[in-house]
Structure 1
Amino acid sequence: MSPAEHDAKSPGFAAEFRDAVTLRAFGLVLGGLLVQLAFVVSYVGAFHSPTPHAIPVAVAAPQQVSAKIVAQLNALDGDPVEATAAPSAATARSWVLTRKTDAAFLFNATGTKDTLLVASAGGPSVSQTATQIAQKIETAQKRQIDVTDIRPPNAGDGRGMTSFYLVLGWVIGGYLTATIMGMAAGSRPANRHRTLIRLGVLALYAAVSGIAGAVVVGPVFDALGGHFWALSAIGALVVLASAATALALQTLLGLLGTGVVILLFVVLGNPSSGGVYPAPLLPSFWSAIGQALPPGAGTTLVRNTVYFSGHATMSALWVLGAYAVGGAVLAWAASWRHERRHADADIEGSTGVAASSSTPEPSSAA
């Protein structure tokens, strides 16, 4: 073929560009850009300036000064703490260990040295912030403060971040596996049977993932040891909640559902989970949504199971259970709706074909 013939048959750059950059491709790139910007805004918005707000603090002091101390703490500029009077030092300590409060202030009526009880396993940043606030107040009052960490993280848990990273891995594994299964045979299951099969496979995957995660943080690294089967069960629930929700959204919305999953679990769920900064240090929006999403509920459930004897975990269990059950039901309902629509379309198509074939041919003029 001569160069002239080749140029004559070539569609040209403009035509090639229109063929390569379709409206669908443009939409996907734009969607990726929006997710990227949302990711940056969410993480920077949550972490750029951690400020204490309403850190729950128990106050144990003689009755004649207890109300005054509580009022002074609650009147601090910016409301950094939310103080509540405790009837005794033992009760104040119990409130910290049962997660009713993050710290306890024990006033010494016979001296000038008070005590602050913290539990850094529940979030080292909150314990450090409470300590800084207490030290500042005590210095202004010409008093001293002795800080006691009554529940620090395990030696292998470093700064208490293992719970967050473990749950992060479970959540990502859940929605990623559901996405891969959808991509393997079309993002929308063709019928209810296929959806039930996928849910069964995801349930089995969740059980294996829970055990595998418990092995990693337990026998392998000894970060969260001593709670193997409890962590295995929690892991299975977290993975199933993530996977079932992803399956439901992808069945209902197709490719857009994957973007919604990333928005919920990664863009919004991770920074608000309390893994890096617990709720009292997050801006109001992230603080409000954190425990309503699987990353936050899972992190709280793991931490409180390992370090605080399972106290204050019921809400997290309900949240994860709702995502798991709700996701499964929604996935089945969406596949049933999708199946019905295809069936109706097939009926309409066959009716149209039958009607056209039964229409008599017009006779030709003689």
Structure 2
Amino acid sequence: MKLVDEVKSAVTPRAALLVIGVLALQLLFIASYVGALHKPRPTDVPFGVVAPGPAATQAAERLADLPGDPLYPRVVRDEAEARRQILNREIDGALIIDPRGTTDTLLVASGGGTVLANALTRITTQLEQAQQRTVRTVDVAPASPEDFDGLSAFYLVVGWCVGGYLCASILAISAGSRPSNPQRAIIRLAVIALSAIAGGLGGAVIVGPLLGALPGSVLGLWGLGALVVFAVGAITLALQALTGVIGIGLAVLLIVIAGNPSAGGAFPAPMLPDFWRTIGPALPPGAGTWAARSIAYFKGNALSGAMQVLAIWAVVGTVVTLVMSAVRRKEDRA
């Protein structure tokens, strides 16, 4: 055979298109991760200010006028209210101004992201120094000493996401990307559900009792993990049911390329560019990371939004998978 004929035989048009798709995913991966993470800086971080009388409003206005808009300050009634809002994840920090002295108090929550807590400390320290004042930092929800930079929750969720789309992908590769009837679709969903239960428990035990990386309820993390794995697996099955093997690439695009850098793992959401900050909470890695940190460090507060996001992905993935399997059965009978 001539070389051209050999190439045509070795690389079919379908394979060539898939290679081009892989190249596109590769470049999107680079663009997404570098675009999101190459220059982190705090922007419009929800931030409380406590001070008596008009001093609170004046301080909030001063913080709002900082170059680059790192903070989005709001006046808070007192220190107890500031602590409550931090633990409810309504704000990320608060400055308690003491008019009777020269030392103020900064409240942070490193459990929500050590990098962000450090950034708030740096910003307020510089501001206080310019006014010949000092600041002491109090960590209201401290990250575990075994949880370096608060990354354990993020990596836990990434592992669950990987388990979800790999399980769905293996089912597609081994038995056809599109289930031929609803019964097979239900079986695949059931397999993913069983994998989700096992993976959720395994991940919770590893980061909790085994490694001590995350505090919080093992049962809570188990339930979260099962939902994350199932949601990602179900949406991967749905994408495969719609597009065939290309669905695996679409799942990678959605979960890995778009979801991971926007999840608030390495850098919490207020430190990400606008695009990634916007999409992160709506994708499984971002919702899962937020929920894992809430369980571990914030007494389970502010969970409902993230859990609703994951539930929607799970329901949509399940419904689309079942509907497409029914449509295919009708096509096969026709």
Is residue 110 of structure 1 aligned with residue 100 of structure 2? Answer: yes
- Distance (whole Å) between structure 1 residues aligned to residue 10 and residue 155 of structure 2: 40
Aligned to 2:278: 288
- Distance (whole Å) between structure 2 residues aligned to residue 289 and residue 198 of structure 1: 29
Aligned to 2:247: 257
- Distance (whole Å) between structure 2 residues aligned to residue 18 and residue 253 of structure 1: 25
Aligned to 1:61: 51
- Distance (whole Å) between structure 2 residues aligned to residue 307 and residue 268 of structure 1: 26
Structure 2: unaligned runs, 5 residues or longer: none
- Distance (whole Å) between structure 1 residues aligned to residue 262 and residue 52 of structure 2: 38
- Equivalent residue of 1:155, what SS? coil
Aligned to 1:12: 2
- Distance (whole Å) between structure 2 residues aligned to residue 49 and residue 192 of structure 1: 47
CA shift for structure 1 position 78 = 1.8
CA shift for structure 1 position 229 = 0.9
Aligned to 1:353: none
Q: How does 1:207-218 map to 2 (within 5 A)?
A: 207-218=197-208
CA shift for structure 1 position 146 = 1.1
- Equivalent residue of 2:95, what SS? strand
- Distance (whole Å) between structure 1 residues aligned to residue 63 and residue 103 of structure 2: 17
Q: For each residue in 1:229-277, what CA deviation from the matched residue of structure 2 results, as whole angstroms up to 9, or x when unmatched?
A: 1111111000000100001111111011111100010001000000111
Q: Give RMSD over aligned pairs.
A: 1.0
Aligned length: 334
In percent, how many aligned pairs have the same letter? 45
Is residue 232 of structure 1 aligned with residue 214 of structure 2? Answer: no
- Distance (whole Å) between structure 1 residues aligned to residue 42 and residue 144 of structure 2: 25
Q: Are the equivalent residues in 2 in contact too, given 1:248–1:328 (CA < 8 A)?
A: yes
Amino acid at match of 1:92: A
Q: Are the equivalent residues in 1 in contact too, given 2:216–2:297 (CA < 8 A)?
A: no
Structure 1: unaligned runs, 5 residues or longer: 1-10, 345-366
CA shift for structure 1 position 226 = 4.5
Aligned to 1:150: 140
- Distance (whole Å) between structure 2 residues aligned to residue 124 and residue 307 of structure 1: 12
Q: For each residue in 1:290-347, what CA deviation from the matched residue of structure 2 results, as whole angstroms up to 9, or x when unmatched?
A: 0100000001101001110111111101000001111101100111112222222xxx
Is residue 100 of structure 1 aligned with residue 90 of structure 2? Answer: yes
Amino acid at match of 2:208: G
Amino acid at match of 1:112: T
Which of 310, 314, 319 is 1:324 aligned to?
Answer: 314
CA shift for structure 1 position 23 = 1.2
CA shift for structure 1 position 164 = 0.5
Amino acid at match of 2:321: A
Larger radius of gyration: 1
Is residue 164 of structure 1 aligned with residue 154 of structure 2? Answer: yes
Aligned to 1:85: 75
- Equivalent residue of 1:101, what SS? coil
Aligned to 2:176: 186
Q: Are the equivalent residues in 1 in contact too, given 2:40–2:271 (CA < 8 A)?
A: yes
Q: Are the equivalent residues in 1 in contact too, given 2:172–2:245 (CA < 8 A)?
A: no
Which piece of structure 1 moves more, 266-275 or 154-163?
154-163
TM-score (norm 1): 0.89
Q: For each residue in 1:190-224, what CA deviation from the matched residue of structure 2 results, as whole angstroms up to 9, or x when unmatched?
A: 11110011111111111111111111112210112
Aligned to 1:203: 193
Is residue 177 of structure 1 aligned with residue 167 of structure 2? Answer: yes
Q: How does 1:38-77 map to 2 (within 5 A)?
A: 38-77=28-67
Amino acid at match of 1:130: L
Amino acid at match of 1:64: P
Amino acid at match of 1:111: G
TM-score (norm 2): 0.98
Higher RCO (CA-CA < 8 Å; seq separation 6+): 2
